[in-house]
Amino acid sequence: MNLFAEALAWLLSPERWQGTYALPVLFGQHLVYTVISVLIAAAIALPAGWLIGHTGRGREIAVAVSGAARAIPSFGLMVLLVLLLGVLRIPEAAVVTFVLLAIPSLLAGAYTGLEAIDRRTLDAARAMGMTEWQVFWKVEVPLGLPLLVGGLRAALLQVIATVTIAAYVNLGGLGWPIIQGIPLRKFDQVLGGAILVAVLALIVDLLLALAQHAAVPAGVRTPARQGRRARTAALDAAPATA
């Protein structure tokens, strides 16, 4: 408990809010690396995932690639890329590492969202005269959006947690207080940095959980709600038993 109070005191200290390694600067660096990496990963994973989900082909390859990407140790990969690209391209090496980390969740969210759609719904859309492009944009993408947002949610949380290792190669971010504090045995600083990363992850998770719920089409949500209301009304109307 005392260490937690010391960590809060470290976070609220005026020195933490000014200078090159001020907390707002580190927070901004963390967000920039996260957003850039996830956007690049989305540009790669979403078209591939949608193609797999729409055509039903290549799922085995996607699963194998996703599994292999998840098995790669992020820190080791980043160090390897730094050695391969050179010390002048450390930011690029870090971004490539984070992109590879984000791709599996986005890819899985994209193709599973389309695979989960009832085939009868797609057949009905085609029977109405929709082209394949219209079926994809007007039926498959809206219905598959909740699982896609779930994949985005998982990707963002993974990248937010992993961007902390960027401090090992002097790229800043919220991992800097942790990495710098461990050898100096400044455990209040280490805990303070960990709290910031955890708070950021919790805020992002909450926002995307709300977005995932909102992404469910109204026509899909309404029957479930009506069913719950009907069951509640039936229970209220049922005569009490002795």
Q: What is the pLDDT of residues 93-147, one digit of tens each?
A: 899 999 999 999 999 999 999 988 888 888 898 888 898 888 888 898 999 999 9
Nearest 10 degrees: Cα torsion 89, 198, 182, 78? -20
Cα 15-167-187 angle, rounded to 5 deg: 55
The predicted-structure confidence for 13-61, as pLDDT tens digits, reads as follows: 888 888 888 999 999 999 999 999 999 999 999 999 999 988 888 888 8
pLDDT band at residue 222, thresholds of 50, 70 and 90? Answer: low
The pLDDT value recorded for residue 178 is: 92
The predicted-structure confidence for 146-157, as pLDDT tens digits, reads as follows: 999 999 999 999
The pLDDT value recorded for residue 216 is: 87
Nearest 10 degrees: Cα torsion 74, 40, 150, 130? -150
Residue 223 has pLDDT above 70, yes or no: no
The pLDDT value recorded for residue 235 is: 43
Computed on alpha carbons and rounded to an integer, the radius of gyration of the chain in Å comes to: 23
Domain range 22-179+198-237, its CATH number among 1.10.1200.10, 2.40.50.140, 3.40.50.1950, 1.10.3720.10: 1.10.3720.10
By residue count, the chain amounts to 242
**What residue ranges do the domains of the chain occupy?**
22-179+198-237
Cα 51-52-58 angle, rounded to 5 deg: 130
